Structure formats: C-alpha cells, structure tokens
Structure 1
Amino acid sequence: MPGGRLTQQERRQIAAGLAENLSYGAIAKRLQRPTSTITREVMRNSGPNDYRADRAHHAAGLRARRNRRPHQPIPFSHHAADGRDPDVVRDFTAHFGTLLDNTGIPRMMAGVLACLYATDSGSLTSADLVRRLQVSPASISKAVGYLEAQELIRRERDPVGRRDRYVIDENVWYRAMLASAQLNNLVADAARDGADTLGPGTPAGIRLRAMAQFLGDVGQDLIESAERHRSGE
C-alpha cells in the first residue's frame, strides 16, 4: 500500500473521484490509501465541493516547508478539540463522517453531523462548522437545512452571541426514526393508490400492492421499536 505524502497525480485522482460523486472510501480504495488520509486531504482543502488538486498540492508544499522550521508549541483552541489532542479529534470526526456518508447521508451533511457528535456541547454555530470543515458558509447552510428537515438537528438562538446554534440531543434518532416511518407510510399510501389506479389484478398493481404492504409494515415496526427504546422497555 502506498505511503508518504500524496502526490500531485493522486490529488488529481481524488478530484476526479469527487467529481464522480464517489465516497471517500471508494476513492481511498482506488488509490490504495487509508480512507482517513483521503478524508483529511479533502477537508483541509476546502471540502468536497471546492477541492482543487493543484491548489491542494501547492498548499501541501507550503505546509511541508513550514514544518521544517523550528517547532513552536501551539495552544489548544476551544473550537478545535475541547482540550483533547486536535489530531485525534480530527481523525475520529473524519472517520465517523465517512461512515455516516456510507449509510446514505450526503457527504457534507455527514460531516456536519460528525462534528456535532464529536463536540462535548453537541452544539456549534455556522461559523464553527465552517472552520472545522473548511468549507463555504453556503455549503454549511445547505447541509444544516437538510439535517433540520430530516429532524437530525435543531436550531437554537444563542441569547449571548445572538447567533443560531445547531444542536443534537438525546431524542435525535427517535425523531429521525419517526420521520423515516412517516415517509415510508406516505410512499406506501401512494403505492396503494397506484395499485388501485392501475388495477389490483395487473402485474403492476400486484407489484405496487406488495410494495405498499412491505413499507407499511416496516414503518409500523420502526415506530413501535422507537417508542419502546424511548420508554426504556
């Protein structure tokens, strides 16, 4: 497996993979590199939407030259790692974001969720997320809008700074499961209507009726399971 610093050609392959909308894991497999290497490379160079191979390679060269200078201790910043080793937090956040991405959550939204889960407060502002993910405010705005719609995060007003904060809490997955179940039920209802419209005895009608039955049952199972866990049964 290749080691050492990424080459300019590898960075161009990363850019090509992002353009193909590949996951970090798929890009890493293509380059025979650890997934965490690809994730760190993209996140420290403007994120998946704005990654540019030549610009990233130039920035890496500048960092390498700076690192050859005498080392000066850098104090922990409160937004970087909450008093922990920043590299450890960054690696965990990148890895966790990749796993969430692989479950089907869009890449940028997965990165925002990972940042929130890796923060003791479970709460970050848009500016915090921009700094951590090294992406544009517009990318963060789109991501938090998506996550709010899925009820994975909620918005609170900071009474001191007068800024919006994005928060996760203990009920986040309960609400997410309910939202998923409700969506399943809507699709099941549409499939059931389609079966009636196209004819319940036709191949299309039979297929749609089976789909409606499956999604309805799964949706009900999700609701019952979520309620049991919430009540502690």
Structure 2
Amino acid sequence: MPGDRLTDEDRQHIAAGLAEGLGFTEIGRRLGRPASTIMREVTRNGGPDDYRAQRAQEATKQRARRQRQPKPPAPPVGDSSHGRDPQAVQSLTESFATLLEQQGMPRMAGRVLACLYVTDSGNLTAADLVQRLRVSPASISQTVALLEQQGLLKRERAPGGRRERYVVDDELWVRSTLAALHMNDALAAASQRAAEILGAATPAGARFGSSAEFLLLVNATLGQVIEQWQQNQADRDAGHRA
C-alpha cells in the first residue's frame, strides 16, 4: 500500500525497473507507490546507476535500529558558578517546575519559569532555554507568549543586540498577585450582580452573594500585603542609598 514501508520485494522490483531503464513514475505505477517515494528510495541508496536492492534493505534496517536506540540522558545544565553543584541545581530546577505544575501551571510553562528563576541573571535567550530544556524552539515561543500574557516574565533586547532575552525579576509574584486581584474584582462584581438577579434570599442568589463577600475579603487582605511589600522595598532601597 502507498502508506506502508517498502519491502525487500519492492526493492527488488525497483532494482529491476532501473535495470530496464524505467523512470521513477513508471516504477511507482507498477508498485502502486508515488514517484516521490521511489525517487527518495533510490537517491538515498546510491542513485539510479548504483542502486542495489539488498544493500538498500540492509541500510534501511540499520537506520531503523539507530532510531530505536534510546537517546543518552541530557547532561546537567545547572549553574555551576559560586561553587554550586550543577546536578543539585538541576534537581532544584526540576522540583520547582513540578511544584508549579502541581499548582495548576502548564508543564512547559513551569519548566521555563523555573529555568529562568534559578539563574542569577534572571534572563535567558530562546536558544539558552532550548539547550537547557532540550525542547523545540516552537515550544519555547508558545510558552513564553503564555507567561508574558500572565505577567510572569517580560522580553528585553540589549542595546544594539538582535536577540531577545526573557526576564524574570523580584516583582514576578507581585505582578501575578495583582493580576489575581483584578480577576477577583471582576468575579466579585459578577457575583454581586448574579445575587441581585437571582434574589439574595434564594439558594442560588445566596451562593453568589457569599462568593462575592469572600472574594472582596481576599482582595482587601491581598491589597494590604502588596502595600506592606512595597513599603518594605522602599525601606530597603533607602537603606542601600544611605
């Protein structure tokens, strides 16, 4: 069938067809295969003048064996500066990524964020992340877009440089908390409106009313936490300047 792998018998027919001087299209027609399949098979195994069915069959088996062999484990890429153990840093990165995933973050997003968070610089390029995480550039691009949308990282480009760097800083969780505050505000307002429509005395209306009360209480507490954090940061900065 056209979608199946070529068999030893198929290769014998290809070799016979080439010996007859047939073109790829005619050989493919006789085998019920696309001409492109015949062309690739012949080209990768010596060309029209040097194609041998048995040699092509053995070469195909060897390629299949190589593809089945497990890839060697990726070496640790943890930061070894400051006398750190690279393997310990790698384990830390993986465990932190797992924790983020358990908190509801997509797996790849957790891996990218953890990888950035354990670096002293707090920034890496797409190529850095591809190397460290052993994933495709497309996976990094999609994940970075998600994290940026959630305010968990930002993009920067060094003056005169062409490559973007993805950056996390000390304000990461502050921005995340602020985003949660905005979402809670929206949910609280929607819950209050639902309670009015359904009737506060009804079970459904009471459910929405209780939700609104809880969300407003959470936001009031989180607002105080943010203010305290900002004051602590201001005091720390003032101490450094003194």
| Aligned residue among 69, 80, 101 for 1:58 | 69
Find the aligned partners of 1:226 and 1:58 in 2 and give their Cα distance.
Answer: 53
Q: Aligned residues: percent identity? A: 46
Q: Does 1:145 align with 2:156?
A: no
1:93 counterpart residue number: 93
1:81 counterpart residue number: 79
- Give the counterpart letter for 1:188 in structure 2: A
Change (3 A) 1:150 1:229: same
| Greater RCO (Cα-Cα under 8 Å, separation 6 or more) | 1
Change (3 A) 1:56 1:117: farther
TM-score normalised to structure 1 length: 0.64
Residues 9-57 of structure 1 show CA distances to partners (whole Å, capped at 9, x for unaligned) of xxxxxxxxxxxxxxxxxxxxxxxxxxxxxxxxxxxxxxxxxxxxxx998
Unaligned runs of 5+ in 2: 1-65, 236-242
1:5 counterpart residue number: none
For the Cα contact (< 8 Å) 1:82–1:119, is it kept in 2? Answer: no
Query: Where do 1:1-233 residues align within 5 Å?
Result: 58-60=69-71, 63=72, 81-83=79-81, 84-232=84-232
Find the aligned partners of 2:152 and 2:111 in 1 and give their Cα distance.
Answer: 13
Which secondary structure state, in structure 2, belongs to the residue aligned with residue 81 of structure 1? coil
Find the aligned partners of 2:67 and 2:183 in 1 and give their Cα distance.
Answer: 41
For the Cα contact (< 8 Å) 2:185–2:219, is it kept in 1? Answer: yes
Change (3 A) 1:82 1:57: farther
Find the aligned partners of 1:113 and 1:139 in 2 and give their Cα distance.
Answer: 13
Deviation at 1:136, TM superposition (A): 1.7
For the Cα contact (< 8 Å) 1:152–1:172, is it kept in 2? Answer: yes
Deviation at 1:205, TM superposition (A): 0.7
TM-score normalised to structure 2 length: 0.62
Find the aligned partners of 1:140 and 1:220 in 2 and give their Cα distance.
Answer: 36
- Higher-Rg member (1/2): 2
For the Cα contact (< 8 Å) 2:78–2:87, is it kept in 1? Answer: no
Moved more, 142-151 or 185-194: 142-151
Q: CA RMSD in A?
A: 2.5
Unaligned runs of 5+ in 1: 1-54, 65-73
Residues 131-166 of structure 1 show CA distances to partners (whole Å, capped at 9, x for unaligned) of 111112222122212211221111111224312111
For the Cα contact (< 8 Å) 1:152–1:176, is it kept in 2? Answer: yes
- Give the counterpart letter for 1:81 in structure 2: D
Count, aligned residues: 165
For the Cα contact (< 8 Å) 1:101–1:107, is it kept in 2? Answer: yes
Find the aligned partners of 2:98 and 2:122 in 1 and give their Cα distance.
Answer: 19
